[in-house]
Amino acid sequence: MSVRVRFAPSPTGFLHIGGLRTALYNYLFARHHGGKFILRIEDTDQARYVEGAEDDIIDSLLWAGIDYDEGPKREGDYGPYRQSERKYMYHEYAEKLIEEGHAYYAFDTTEEIDEMRERLKKSGNPSPKYDSITRQSMKNSLTLPQDEVQKKLEDGDEYVVRLKVPRKEEVRFEDEIRGVVSFDTSGLDDQVLLKSDGMPTYHLANVVDDHTMGITHVIRGEEWLSSTPKHILLYNAFGWEPPKMAHLPLIMSPSGGKLSKRKAESEGIPVNTKDYIAGHYIPEALVNFLAYLGWSPGDDSEIHSMEELCELFTLDRVSKGGAVFNFKKLMWYNENYIREHSVEELMTDVKELAAEAGWDISDEEYLKQVIELLHERVSKIDEFISMGDFFYNAPSEYDEKAAKKWKDDSVTLISDYKESISALAEGEFDAATLKSKLEEVIEAHEVGFGKLAMPLRLAVTGQGFGPDLFPSIEMLGKEETVSRIDAAVQRLS
Ligand code: GLU
C-alpha cells in the first residue's frame, strides 16, 4: 500500500501554528513512507470563507518547506482539490446513501426542530436530538408518503439530507496514537450530510474526499476525534474501508488549557504562521520546534533538519497528552539555527530589515562585520537591527538601567581613555590596542575593568550589553568613537 495523506484546512483565516504542525506531521509521515502529501481546501462553509486564506495557507506551507505533491495549483490525478469544485460529487454520494436506505431527506424547518427539542426538554430529556426515535415524528422521507416527498423535491422545497445513525450501537476504531477508541451512537444526532444551500457538511465532504482521493491515513488534531465515529458510520454506510486514523495531541498554553488565539496573544505567543514569517523567524527552527511539539524520536537529540525528521518520524512516537508550547524553547531553536547559518545566508534577511530601518548599507563589508559580531548573540533576525543599530546611528538616548552605571568617576576615566585613543595613529586603531589602552587607564586609576568598560559601552552603543566592545569600537573608527564619548560626557554627567 502506498501512503497517501492529506492536510485539509478550511480557508477561514490565517494558518494557525497548530495547523502548521498538523501539516508538518502529515508531510513527515508521507516522506518517511515514500508516499504522497496532498493539500485539500475544505471550503464548503461559505459563511466562514475568508478571501486570501488559501494563499496564506499555501505561502505558509512553502515558507516552512512543507511541499505538497497534489493540491490547488499542483493538480494531480485526484483533483479538483477544492471542495467547492467537487460539489457535484457530494450530491451523487448523498443520493446513493438515500437509495440504499442509509440516509433520508428531511424537510423540517428550524422552528419545527426547535419545537421538538423544547417539547422533549419539558418531558425530561436534557439533550434532545434528531435521532432514531424522534425522526419518526418529524417531516422526512421516512415518515411522509413517497409521492409527497417527490412533490416537495420537485417544488424545490428546502431540505437537508440526514444520516440514519443507528440506535445504541458501539462504534469502535483503532487510533494509531490513542489505541482503541469507542463511542456510543446514542449520543449522536442524525448527522446532516447535505445542507439546505446544497453544500455538503464537513463530515460528508471529508469522507467522500478521503475515500475518492485514496487517502490511507487521516492525521489530524484531537479536536476532530469526536467527529470520527460519524465518519466511521459513513464509511460503513458506503461500504468503504476507512483509512487509518491518528489524532494528534492538543497544543497547550504554558499557563494551562488549550492554546487558543486569545490565550496565545495574552502570553505573547504569535499564533499565525504569517506572524513568524513577518517576524523573520528561521523556518527550519520553527519546523524543528513544531516537530517536537507532541513527538520525539525517543533519544535526547533535539536538532534535526527536515530531511532527518522525515527519516525519524513515526506515529508511534507521537504522544497522547497535550503538548505545551514552550516559547523559550522555540527561541532556543531559532538561536541555534541562526548560529548554524553562515553570514552569507543571513545577509538577505538582514539587508531587508536594514533597509527598512534606514541603515546606509552601501558598504557590504561593513554590514558583514556587523553580522559577524552579533552572530553569537541574537536569537532572532530582527535583533541584528535592534542590537546593531549603533553601528549606523549614534545613540539618541541611553538605556535607563545601564545609565545608572555612569558614576561620578566615569567622566575622569572615560576622558583619560579618550585622550589615550585619540593619540593612536590610523593603523593602530584596532581591537587589541583599544583593549590594552583601557587596561592602562584602569591600572593607573586602580579600578576594576567594568568601571570603565561599562560607561564606555554605554557611551558608544547606548546599551548595557551588546557585541564585543573593542572590535565594535574599531569598526566605528576613531572620529566617531571620540564624538560619542564627548556626547555622553555632556549628556550623562
Ligand atoms: N477542514 C478541517 C479543518 O479545518 C479538516 C479536519 C480533518 O483533517 O479532517 O481542520
Compute the distance between CA of residue 286 and CA of residue 284 in angstroms, rounded to an integer. 6
Compute the distance between CA of residue 258 and CA of residue 13 in angstroms, rounded to an integer. 19
47 has pLDDT over 90: no
Compute the distance between CA of residue 342 and CA of residue 347 in angstroms, rounded to an integer. 9
Domain match, 383 and 427 both: no
DSSP 293: S
DSSP symbols for 319-354 = -SS-EE--HHHHHHHHHHHHHHS-HHHHHHHHHHHH
Catalytic residues: 261
Binned at pLDDT 50, 70 and 90, residue 175 comes out as: very high
Domain match, 378 and 423 both: no
With respect to residue 31, please indicate whether it lies within any of the assigned structural domains.
no
pLDDT tens profile 404-420 = 989 989 999 999 999 99
Give CA separation, 177 vs 23, 98, 222, 287, 288, in Å.
17, 34, 10, 21, 21
Residue with cell 497544543: 251
Q: Using CB atoms within 10 A of its CB, is residue 149 exposed (0-12), middle (13-18) or buried (19+)?
A: buried
pLDDT of residue 113: 95
Domain match, 417 and 383 both: no
Domain match, 422 and 375 both: no
Neighbours of 402 (CB within 10 A): 18
Question: Average pLDDT of 286-301?
Answer: 97
pLDDT of residue 262: 87
pLDDT of residue 98: 98
DSSP symbols for 362-400 = --HHHHHHHHHHHTTT-SSTTHHHHHHGGGTS--SS--H
pLDDT of residue 480: 97
Question: Would you say 377 and 467 are in contact if contact means Cβ atoms under 8 Å apart?
Answer: yes
Residue with cell 531559532: 334
- Mutating to test ligand 1, I would choose from 41, 84, 202, 232 the residue with most ligand atoms within 8 A of its C-beta, which is 202
With respect to residue 298, please indicate whether it lies within any of the assigned structural domains.
no
Domain count, the chain: 2
With respect to residue 438, please indicate whether it lies within any of the assigned structural domains.
yes
| Listed residues 351, 367, 391: the one ending a domain | 391
DSSP symbols for 440-475 = HHHHHHT--HHHHHHHHHHHHHSSSS-S-HHHHHHH
pLDDT tens profile 67-117 = 999 999 999 999 999 999 999 999 999 999 999 999 999 999 999 999 999
Q: What is the CATH number of the domain that holds 472?
A: 1.10.10.350
Domain match, 483 and 416 both: yes
Q: Which atom of ligand 1 is nearest to the CA of 8?
A: 5
> Which range of residues forms the domain containing residue 356?
341-391
Domain match, 413 and 473 both: yes
With respect to residue 364, please indicate whether it lies within any of the assigned structural domains.
yes
With respect to residue 190, please indicate whether it lies within any of the assigned structural domains.
no
DSSP 131: S
- Mutating to test ligand 1, I would choose from 224, 225, 226, 251 the residue with most ligand atoms within 8 A of its C-beta, which is 224
Domain match, 477 and 419 both: yes
pLDDT of residue 9: 98
Domain match, 361 and 436 both: no
Domain match, 357 and 419 both: no
Compute the distance between CA of residue 428 and CA of residue 179 in angstroms, rounded to an integer. 71
- The number of CA neighbours under 13 Å toward the Cβ of 397 is 3
Domain match, 387 and 404 both: no
Domain match, 406 and 487 both: yes
Binned at pLDDT 50, 70 and 90, residue 46 comes out as: confident
Q: What is the mean pLDDT of the chain?
A: 96
Angle value at C-alpha 94, between 235 and 221, nearest 5 degrees: 45
Question: Average pLDDT of 8-37?
Answer: 97
Residue with cell 485514496: 214
Domain match, 410 and 471 both: yes
Question: Average pLDDT of 24-48?
Answer: 96
Q: Using CB atoms within 10 A of its CB, is residue 236 exposed (0-12), middle (13-18) or buried (19+)?
A: middle
415: Cα separation from own chain's centroid? 52
pLDDT tens profile 439-472 = 999 999 999 999 999 999 999 999 999 999 999 9
pLDDT of residue 194: 97
- Mutating to test ligand 1, I would choose from 42, 204, 219, 250 the residue with most ligand atoms within 8 A of its C-beta, which is 42
With respect to residue 410, please indicate whether it lies within any of the assigned structural domains.
yes
pLDDT of residue 260: 87
Task: Kindly give the distance from the C-alpha atom of residue 248 to the centroid of ligand 1, in angstroms, as a whole number.
Answer: 12
With respect to residue 428, please indicate whether it lies within any of the assigned structural domains.
yes
With respect to residue 420, please indicate whether it lies within any of the assigned structural domains.
yes
pLDDT of residue 403: 93
Q: Which atom of ligand 1 is nearest to the CA of 220?
A: 8
Q: Which atom of ligand 1 is nearest to the CA of 219?
A: 8
Question: Would you say 284 and 343 are in contact if contact means Cβ atoms under 8 Å apart?
Answer: no
- In sign, the C-alpha dihedral spanning 18, 24, 25, 30 is positive
256 has pLDDT over 90: no
Expressed in percent and rounded to 5, the helix, strand and coil fractions of the chain are 50, 10, 35
Task: Kindly give the distance from the C-alpha atom of residue 210 to the centroid of ligand 1, in angstroms, as a whole number.
Answer: 11
Q: What is the CATH number of the domain that holds 381?
A: 1.10.8
For the record, the C-alpha cell of 186 comes out as 446514542
Identify the residues whose C-beta falls under 6 Å from ligand 1: 8-10, 42, 206, 220, 224
